[in-house]
Structure formats: structure tokens, C-alpha cells
Amino acid sequence: MILNQILWIAVPILPPNLPLKCVTLWVINGLLAGGGTRNYLAVLSSVNCSATVAQMIAQRFLQDELANYSNVDGIVPFVHGTGCGLDSSGNGLEILQRVLWGYARNPNIGGVLLVGLGCEVNQISFLLEAYDITPGPLFKTITIQKSGGTRKSIDQGIQCLREMLPQVNAIERRPAPVSEIKLGLHAAAPIRINGNI
């Protein structure tokens, strides 16, 4: 039924005092945080100047190659329009780094490729230091300037994803109580929560 442009769907009502441990879902333990329901490889851009390269890495990765990894749900680029002309000690940089770190540690992310240009204010090295991140087999970084340009960066990024795929594919879903799931809320405007959720 449609009321006021909103689709309402009937859902079963659970008993009011049902312990969350009784309800199970198939979950994965992501790269940096557990309790996700998907298993993606993320390609993050540290700056708007590397956004196109990040998108092209994700898009040019051969989908039939990805089909060989049944536990991997896909490759997702996360790009933005900032990171270059920011004040190196301002709120803008701090917020951008928190958002990037939030994407990287999302429980639905099994591996991360962070792509930078090399000369931006939001340097990859600063982000790694701020959040005590050590690059490894499932958290890789590249910069366009060090790689030798756009085409070489795309090739290097695809190679990084190929190296991560077997390990990300090894992350298997397991039954777990619903209480283990981490949920995120999206609101178009700020909301106030009174704590009675």
C-alpha cells in the first residue's frame, strides 16, 4: 500500500522481550570490525584528484574474474570531492579522515585499497598515522605520482585487488546473533535520539 509517497510493508511483530541472541543471521568478520552481512573490497580515494582513478580501478576489474570468488560481494569505490585545498589542521581535514576511516573499518569491508595523488593535504601517511593503521595484505595504498600516472596506477590498483581477493574470499559467513550486527543510520537532516531505542 502507498501512503503519502511512502511504501509501507507489513513485517512480523516479534515478541516484546525476545532476547536478541535468539535471532541469528549469517555474518562475516570484516577487515577491522566484526558483524557485517556483506564482504566487499573498498577502493577509497584520499583526495578528489584520485577519485577517477579509484573509480576506474573498481570498474575495470574484470567481473568474470570476481565471479571466481563466491564469498566476495563486490568491489566498491568510495570517492569524494575534497582533500586537496584543506587547512592541514582544521576541522575539514579531521572530518574527512574520520569518514574515510569509518568506511575502511566498516564491518562489511574485507579489504581496502586507499588511492592518493601524492601531493594532497590529506596525505595517506597522515591518515595512517592518525588512526594507527599499518598497511598489510588486506590494507594497501598507492599514490598516482609514485605509480607513474593514471594508467599505471589503475594497473597497480587492479593488481593490489587481485592480491587481496583470495584472502577476502576466505572470510566466510557464519551464524551469529543479531546483537553482533553493527547498524548505521542515515538521516537527511540531523536527528535527536532520546536514548530509548
- Does the residue 99 lie in any domain? yes
Q: Average model confidence (pLDDT) for the chain?
A: 80
- Does the residue 184 lie in any domain? no
pLDDT at 1: 37
- The per-residue pLDDT for range 167-177, each reduced to its tens digit, is 999 987 777 77
Q: Which amino acid is at 74?
A: G
- Does the residue 89 lie in any domain? yes
pLDDT at 122: 84
CATH number of the domain where residue 93 is located: 3.40.50
- Segments in the chain forming alpha helices (H): 51-60, 63-66, 91-104, 124-130, 144-147, 150-169
- Does the residue 183 lie in any domain? no
- The per-residue pLDDT for range 34-81, each reduced to its tens digit, is 677 888 999 999 999 999 999 999 998 777 888 899 999 999 999 998
> Would you say 82 and 48 are in contact if contact means Cβ atoms under 8 Å apart?
yes
- Does the residue 144 lie in any domain? yes
Residue 145 backbone phi and psi in degrees, to 5: -65, -40
- Does the residue 47 lie in any domain? yes
Range of the domain at 123: 40-172
pLDDT at 183: 64
- Does the residue 27 lie in any domain? no
- The per-residue pLDDT for range 118-169, each reduced to its tens digit, is 998 888 898 888 888 889 999 999 999 999 999 999 999 999 999 999 999 9
- Does the residue 123 lie in any domain? yes
Better-scored residue on pLDDT, 75 or 102:
75
- Please name every residue paired with 112 in a beta bridge, in sequence order, or none if there are none: 42, 139
Better-scored residue on pLDDT, 194 or 108:
108
Split into its structural domains, the chain has a count of 1
